[in-house]
Structure 1
Amino acid sequence: MPEFFSAPAFALWGSPVSWLELLAAVLALAMVGCNMREIHWGWPLAIISSLLYVAVFAQARIYGDASLQVFFAIVAFWGWSQWLRGHRADGSALRVSRLSPRGTALALAACALAWPAVALFLRRFTDTDVPWWDGFSTGLSLVGQFLLGRKFIENWLVWLAVNVVSVGLFIHKGLWLTVGLYAVFAVLSVAGFLAWRTRMHDGAARA
Structure 2
Amino acid sequence: MNESLSLFGLATTTPLEILSFALSVATVWLNIRQNHWAWLFAILSSAMYGVVFFESKLYGDMALQLVFITVSFWGWYQWLHGPGEDHTLPVSVLDARSRIASGLAWAGGYLFLAWFLKSFTDTDVPHADGFLTAGSLVGQALLSRKKIENWHVWIIVDVLYVALYIHKGLMLTAVLYGMFVLMAMAGLRAWQRSSYDDAQAMVLK
Same fold (TM over 0.5): yes
Question: 1:75 offset after TM fit, Å?
Answer: 1.0
Q: Matches of residues 51-200 of structure 1 in structure 2 within 5 Å?
A: 51-87=47-83, 94-200=89-195
Q: Tell me which amino acid in the other structure corresponds to 2:64.
A: L
Residue 187 of structure 1 deviates from its aligned partner by: 1.1
Corresponding position of 1:6: 2
SS of the counterpart of 1:6?
A: coil
1:203 maps to 198
> Following TM superposition, by how much is the alpha carbon of 1:117 offset from its aligned partner in structure 2, in angstroms?
1.2
Letter in 1 for 2:45: S
Return 18-27 or 111-120, whichever deviates more: 111-120
Residue 13 of structure 1 and its aligned partner are, at CA, apart by 6.1
The alignment status of 1:41 with 2:37, answered yes or no, reads yes
Instruction: List per-residue Cα deviations over 1:42-88 (Å, max 9, x = no partner).
Output: 00000000000011000001000011001101110001000011349
d(CA) in 2 for partners of 1:93 and 1:25? 28
CA contact (8 A) 1:12 1:177 kept: no
1:186 shift after superposition: 0.9
Q: 2:6 is aligned with what amino acid? A: F
Counterpart code for 1:27: L
CA distance in 2, matches of 1:93, 1:80: 10
SS at match of 1:16: strand
Which consecutive residues of structure 1, in runs of 5 or more, have no partner in the other structure? none
Q: Quick check: 1:36–1:192 contact (8 Å CA) kept in 2?
A: yes
Deviation at 1:188, TM superposition (A): 1.0
Moved over 6 A (4+): none
With structure 1 as the length reference, what TM-score do the two structures score?
A: 0.93
What percentage of residue pairs aligned between the two structures are identical?
44
- Structure 2 unaligned segments of length 5 or more: list them: none
Q: 1:135 to 1:13 in 2, by over 3 A?
A: farther
TM-score by length of 2: 0.94
Tell me, yes or no, if the aligned pair for 2:79 and 2:88 is still in contact at 8 Å.
no
Contact in 2 for aligned 1:40/1:80 (Cα 8 Å): yes
Q: Report deviation, 1:9.
A: 3.8
* C-alpha distance in structure 1 between counterparts of 2:97 and 2:165, whole Å: 34
Relative distance call for 1:116 and 1:12 in structure 2 (3 A) is farther
Q: Kindly state the Cα deviation for residue 8 of structure 1 after the two structures are TM-superposed.
A: 2.8
